[in-house]
Amino acid sequence: MEIAGRICYAEQEGNDLCFHLKYKREPGYTAGTCCTEDEIMKRIVIDSFFHQTPGHRLSRNIATGGYAYNIGRYSPYDVFHPNGISMLYADMVGKYDVRFSNEPLTDLALADADILIMPNPDYPLYPGAAPYRIDEPDREAMLHFAQRGGSILLLINSFLSRSDFWEENFDYERILPFLKKLGIDWDPDYMSDDDEILPSMCGPFKVGYGQGGRLKGKLPEGVEPLLTWEGEVFGIRASVGKGCVAVIGDAGLVSNGLYGFPTFDNRAFMLHLLETLEPDFGEGEMFERLDFASHHCGVSPMGITEELFDSLRPGMKSFFDHDYNHLVWEDKPVRVSAGEIELPFSLAEAETADRVTAKITAVPIEYGREGAALSMPCNVVRTAKGDRTDYLVTGMKFYEGLSWKDLGADEAVFGKIGELLTLNTVVQYMVGTEKGRIRYATLKQGQIMYDHNLKNPVYGYDILLSSRCTVYSPVRP
């Protein structure tokens, strides 16, 4: 069997499946087990922001995903219920570094991911559904993640509004526009069969397929079938930039109840599919750098006025939300090499020390000005799995005795408003390494400026919040 440039076969070794691969793009590579000492461990990120965890109680100590509504299903935490995916999860953590995302999909949130798995995002009209819905910024982040080389596995059901049947519905109103971006016309109203488990096929794998959706019409260019049965296509894989998106129209085929169902090869299919989705970011030679920043202020005619606030970023106008005016901007992504990654602390020191000193600068208030150089003591938390280590380097400090110039502000303008008292700053850096090489880095800095202004009716202070972030994400060569 050949899929995505790989030749693969599986052997049963006792109770375990062992996958053997060789790569067409690597002449002379000899077949061997997929897990080798030199293999780079991939990270799977599972969305748990648009999908709730189990919340339907069967007893005081047993909570499962609900049957009446599709809430909390396909969760790795649900080891009791047949619709959990704890069996797949147990297999994944044996080879992959698995984490869960509890935030919207952004370049920042996906910087460390190799594979993003989205199990049937909640339909929002159900009681207990996730309060968040996928929106255009999330779809853009997904697309960008795939374009630079990442892989997405989207598991969705059919959309059934039937009082005489269980409803495994997903947020089709927000997922279908993403598939449209890929040229894919998906039919969520189709139900394959409610009396039997269909034996859909992928090469030699016979996959038990429940009541799922299907592809409409012909396969678009760059899209290949993953699961088929009697002329229907129940799963596809689309090439997107340097990465790919795989869509399976039945999330239930990975559930505990179907993962090892007799006569089907669901386990072998899923483990093989994950193998083919593994992106190759190389040795970490090339990255994409993205910078973005913001200012936030409760503007006042007696302090920092709306006109002055808007002038801090020429050509932009602030918007109001939750008592604050906001200026938010980002630069265009640029390609950089590994040697061009700039960390504000010594990674060599962070490998052994519990505390390091970060060399930072104050986030400048006015565009075109520079903030003063500052020193920030930081705590270090290291998390290691195999040859992969994640570093969380974070610290905060209250700075006093600074001038408006130190904050990149015009003394003549801001000095008339009030007396600068303190600058409260916090930093949070996440850096991942593999065998000593940087795999990704996210650098976040936030600050709150207080100036004493008795004319300001809010607290007697002007308060200006600022932030800036830099993301280094790997790019597939």
Supply the pLDDT for residue 143.
97
What mean pLDDT is predicted for residues 409-438?
A: 94
Supply the pLDDT for residue 126.
81
The total of other beta-carbon atoms located within 10 Å of residue 230's CB is 9
Q: Look at 118-127, 240-249, 252-261, 263-272 and tell me which has the smallest mean pLDDT.
A: 118-127
CATH 3.40.50.150 fits domain 2-277: no
Band (pLDDT 50/70/90 cuts) for residue 346 is very high
Supply the pLDDT for residue 317.
94
What percent of the chain is modeled with pLDDT above 90? 66
Supply the pLDDT for residue 87.
96
For the cut 60, the answer to whether the pLDDT of residue 241 exceeds it is yes
Span between the terminal Cα atoms of the chain, in Å: 26
Q: Which residues pair with 180 in a beta bridge?
A: none
pLDDT per residue over 39-65, tens digit each? 678 999 999 999 888 888 889 998 888
pLDDT per residue over 127-169, tens digit each? 888 889 999 999 999 999 999 999 999 999 887 766 656 667 7
The token duo for 182 is 């890929």
Supply the pLDDT for residue 445.
98
Supply the pLDDT for residue 161.
66
Cα-flanking dihedrals φ and ψ of residue 412, to 5°?
Answer: -65, -35
Q: Which pairing describes strands 97-101 and 43-47: parallel, antiparallel, or unpaired?
A: parallel
Going from the C-alpha of 9 to that of each of 28, 232, 276, 383, 415, the distances in angstroms are 18, 25, 12, 34, 72
Domain ranges of the chain: 2-277, 286-474
Supply the pLDDT for residue 124.
85
Band (pLDDT 50/70/90 cuts) for residue 307 is very high
Name which residue leads in pLDDT, 391 or 6. Answer: 391
Supply the pLDDT for residue 36.
46
pLDDT per residue over 166-179, tens digit each? 667 788 899 999 99
Supply the pLDDT for residue 55.
82
For the cut 50, the answer to whether the pLDDT of residue 13 exceeds it is no
Q: What is the pTM of this model?
A: 0.88
Band (pLDDT 50/70/90 cuts) for residue 12 is very low
Supply the pLDDT for residue 39.
65
- How many residues are recorded in the chain? 477
Supply the pLDDT for residue 65.
86
For the cut 70, the answer to whether the pLDDT of residue 439 exceeds it is yes
Supply the pLDDT for residue 237.
97
